[in-house]
Structure 1
Amino acid sequence: MNMLGGFLQEELLMEISRFGAFFALIIGIGRLIKARSQIDYLLSALLVLTAVFQYFDEATINTISYVWMKRFLFQIDLIALSTCGILVYLISIMMFSSDSKLPNKYYWNLMPPIVLSIPIASLYDQQNGFEFNLFLYLTDLFVIGYVGMAVYRMFRNDAFDFRTAKSKVLAVLIIMVSFCAALEIVGIVMENKFLVLLSGAITTFEIIYFYYVSVYFQDFLSEQVATETQKNVIKKSLLSDVDIEALEKQLSYLIQEERIYLDEDIRLPSVAEELGVSVHQLSSYLNDHKGINFNNYINQFRVEEAKSILINDPSRSVISVGNAVGFNSNSVFHRAFLRETGMSPKKFRESQIFKKHSYTLN
């Protein structure tokens, strides 16, 4: 109990929130530098704005001497918070839409956070007043509303199949986000600073969890999720205006000559752009003509490259081999190698050395 009490001290919760802010900023900027598609930019913006509202809390703003600066930072903090909910919604549209780009009409959703922040800024000097707290309460409800619409899209498009690991990790993330927003609302209504700080600390774990998901499920936001009925309808039109033979030759050139699979940041949208087709057309081509999704298609070439290195350079570590062929995680390399060969990289190397030794003895 003493350990739990120490963990739940306000100072510690604040430090956890600070860590979450810097971590979100780092991975957000990292994603922005590597961004190649619209959904990458939206994700980068989501992470950077999360860093903003995580850092500019009450304690940080109160360190500022000028009232106008406090009011301005508080307004920025609320805009960042409410915009994050909208970005989650926009990302869900990108995931479940047949469009390769987000239609311009959806960007009007970004206006309400600015409008909502104006009365809050004007009431900043009346922080103990009912109106001020009401608008704070509405801001969190605003976030929950947009996250709720995103969840609705996921259920409507049958994104959840709880037999799969992806659906499970997504469900956990949604539960965490919803709980966090609800906790902050309760903290505002009850004027309980501790609950608000706890919400910020939980957000830090959400950021870390998101990073885990993005590393171990790299294709999670790359390919369209659709029902079987939708897929059958879309397939008929997606490739109707595509020269399949030319597409196959271009893709073969990128794989065999340019060896794009060695780039650990290679993604479906960037390859589709290189080939002059949409994300959904390339995904449909790989599924229909190769019987494989994009990640597994790329990983099979990485594994072949890794097999060659493992055999020809026995002194090289398995981890460095995985990094050399484009895997950014040793666990992802291990799983992909096991799927392609039926054994781990280490076992494969040992079996090849044994074969070579047996051949030499004979």
Structure 2
Amino acid sequence: MKGAASTLPAVRAALLAWFDREGRDLPWRVGPEGGRDPYRVWVSEVLLQQTQVARGRVYFERFLEAFPTVQALADTPIEAVLKAWEGCGYYARARNLHRAAGVIVRGGMPTTYDGWRALPGVGPYTAAAVASLACGEARAVNDGNVRRVLARLCGERQPSAAWVQARADDLLDPARPGACNEAVMDLGATVCTPKAPKCGACPVSAWCAALGSGEPAAFPAPKVRAAVREVRAVALLLGDAREAVLERREGTLLGGLMGLPTEEVVGGEAERDALARLATRLGAAVTGELGTVTHGMTHRRVSLTVYAGTGGPPRTWVEGAALARLDHKALALWDARQASLFAHA
């Protein structure tokens, strides 16, 4: 920001005036400023960690319809919570929501940053968001939108997390912390966008160092992304797309979900070796290949070849199970195969 600390009051005032006029009407913004419904704020912030607002709105309304209160969430078996979360991805978020709901029911809704931070799965960003928006606590949030807005205002190409937090703390209006946080996030989401910032509509453009440089979109410099790991695996569909053998997933990404039995193709082995290992484990016989589906998940890209088979453990009713998108894609191969058979009948 041009002039640094001396310009902060003017930047805050312009930002808040813009937010009062242009702030987004979102379903989780229920209640007075600084006193929003903490349950709705918490659920929305967890959802939006890995989901864009347009899709997040749909998922949020679906989730709140299923679990309108924290008591309802805590009282529901985790399998049903995962089913309601289906399609949102990053299922550890749903598991942590469920665990934290139990803690809240037993000990009460937190009213401070430290109280929120103590809950399972609640990190610094979520705790700051709920504490400021629902409890009126002066805590500045630090997410991708905040990072981009502050990096451009200050002309910082490679802002560290600590740098962003310090600038966010400086900018925060202690009298209106929730509104100030929402204003920066809304500005980053609607005006100060990554590739084509709408600088002509920006309420703080007069103080923006990146705009002054003539290359606002060059700030901040792109993050170095982790390499994507290619994963090959095979799956067996024993049954059909309505009733099939399903197994419970393990691990942080898909843990708790149900899915088709799978086996990773490891090292330099042939796919047929992994398939034979899978069939032996299940006590099943392979009858043919259905096709291959691909899916991206957190720095990995999975290529899954799906086979049909007979035998194996008892079938499960698929519609009632919480499945990952990868498994929905795999099951769709069965429907496509049946449609193809009927088309040639």
Q: Is this a same-fold pair by TM over 0.5?
A: no
User: TM-score, normalising length from structure 2?
Assistant: 0.27
Q: If each structure's helix is expressed as a fraction of its own residues, which one has the higher value? A: 1
User: TM-score, normalising length from structure 1?
Assistant: 0.26
Q: If each structure's strand is expressed as a fraction of its own residues, which one has the higher value? A: 2
Q: Compare relative contact order (CA 8 Å, sep 6+) and give the higher one, 1 or 2.
A: 2
